[in-house]
Amino acid sequence: MSKTSKNATSTISFDGRLTPAIRRKLQEKRCQIGLPYQLIAKFFGVNWSTFRKWELGPTEVCELSVRPRLEAFLNGEYDVQLRGLVQARASRNYGTLVPHEVLLCLERVSNAYRLCYDRPDLRDSMVKNINQATLEAMSKLISPAESLPALDDSQP
């Protein structure tokens, strides 16, 4: 990876080698935009596990055919288009009934849940906390003076 200065902006030149710096940048860009592996992989025409391997290893070099698009992605040339995909996906799933900030929160939770794939304890804790917060909010909505008891560990 080399950086070229163009009027105070830096451009990444990508030769196909997935160095630690490139891997970090791929992951940062994907997470910054809020893209799950499935959506970014579809955009590049690869399997989601391929994109994950580009970010985390063991793949050391990507195919020649995707290098120009990956370089453009790293340089932010697809940011607007990809953010549009994320918003369209969220809108398709939830329509206009849910405020944008809630959609962003749901996307972050979804991404965090996927990232915890190898940590079922964290995934279970996350789901339990979300369920508890939802239960408390609904309880206050139904009866502001009363609150429901906390969920026990046997409930999902």
- For residue range 6-30, list pLDDT tens digits in order: 444 578 899 999 999 999 999 999 9
Region 53-64 average pLDDT = 92
Region 108-132 average pLDDT = 92
How would CATH label the architecture of 2-97?
Orthogonal Bundle (1.10)
Tell whether the model's pLDDT for residue 68 goes beyond 90.
yes
Q: What is the pTM of this model?
A: 0.53
On the CB side of 65, how many CA atoms lie within 13 Å of its CA? Answer: 3
User: Closest Cα partner for 93 from 107, 111, 82, 109?
Assistant: 107
Tell whether the model's pLDDT for residue 80 goes beyond 60.
yes
pLDDT of residue 4: 46
On the CB side of 82, how many CA atoms lie within 13 Å of its CA? Answer: 25
- Could you state, in order of their start, the residue ranges of all structural domains in the chain? 2-97
Mean pLDDT (the chain, rounded): 83
Tell whether the model's pLDDT for residue 64 goes beyond 70.
yes
Looking at 57-119, list the stretches that DSSP marks H as alpha helix, in order from N- to C-terminal side. 67-74, 79-94, 100-115
User: Closest Cα partner for 9 from 75, 82, 79, 67?
Assistant: 75
Q: How many CB atoms lie within 10 A of CB 20?
A: 9
Region 78-99 average pLDDT = 74
φ, ψ at 154 (rounded to 5°): -80, -15
User: Closest Cα partner for 33 from 102, 99, 84?
Assistant: 84
pLDDT of residue 153: 57
